[in-house]
Amino acid sequence: MHGQVTSPGLARFVPGEWRAFASFLAGPELPERMTGIRFAALGRTLQLFGLDLLLMALLVGIAELALLLGFRIPENAVDKLALNPQNLAIIVLFAPILEELVVRSWVSGRPGHVAAWATLLIGFAVLAVSGMQAHPILLLGDLLIVAVVASGLLFWLRGRPPFAFFKRHFAWFYFASALIFAGAHLLNYGQGWSLSTLPLLLPQLLAGLIFGYTRVTKGIWSDMLLHMMHNGLLISLVVLQKGM
């Protein structure tokens, strides 16, 4: 078990899941099992959303201070996005599901999860290269085949423990998934990003660390839900800003 990083006097003011996350960051280890979908796990997921909310508020405050000091923040793709119901559904619902499947479904290190992830990744890559111009019915059929194969692998390999090498080097995989998640968001800046843009990825990096922790301690349902709430919070701020 990880030791707690807060002093006894301060511990009572810090939610338990925040302390557990801080201890996990100090020495990431792959848990033997995940809690699964339980009411208590939902409560702990909401605690982590509170931490995410606090961290994002601090970063927004720093960004506002930087603007007051004359720093210029590059335009983000979200700033130019039409905030219609379709785009909002993609940002808040569908994007978190797809991103978690691609970036973090494999982080558990379990054979079924890794095999299903590889199947999805190969399927999406093949569709992106050769099938995106196909008839929608054929495209839907290909996606269905990929989903069935991935689900079959999950069922066939269910219950098997994580790969031994993955467990030994879990910290590297965990931090790599967070870095990949943050780096992918450079695409939001198109051709306008540079080294000076990298600090703007700190929100995604911190969120990726929290999402990865929920993935391996509670299950992929938890980090998908947390990701949806995170995106919903940020898009609400964008809507509010445009309204003002």
**What is the per-residue DSSP string for 47-58?**
HHHHHHHHHHHH
pLDDT at 3: 47
The span from the CA of 1 to the CA of 7, in Å, is 17
Task: Please state the pTM of the whole predicted model.
Answer: 0.87
* pLDDT tens profile 134-177: 666 767 777 788 889 999 999 999 889 999 999 999 999 999 99
Residue 109: pLDDT band with limits 50, 70, 90: very high
Return the ∠ at Cα 144 (arms to 143 and 148), rounded to 5°: 120
Q: What is the DSSP letter of 148?
A: H
pLDDT at 1 over 50: no
Helix axes 95-103, 202-217, angle to 10 degrees: 70
* pLDDT tens profile 5-39: 555 555 667 888 999 999 999 999 999 888 888 88
State the chain's mean pLDDT as an integer: 85
Record the tokens describing residue 97, joined without a space. 């599901």
Closest CA to 218 of 115, 95, 100: 100
66 vs 178 pLDDT, higher one: 178
Furthest-apart CA atoms within the chain: distance in Å: 63
CB count in 10 Å sphere of residue 104: 26
Find tokens 């801080």 and name the residue.
Answer: 22
- The domain ranges of the chain are 8-100+165-243, 111-160
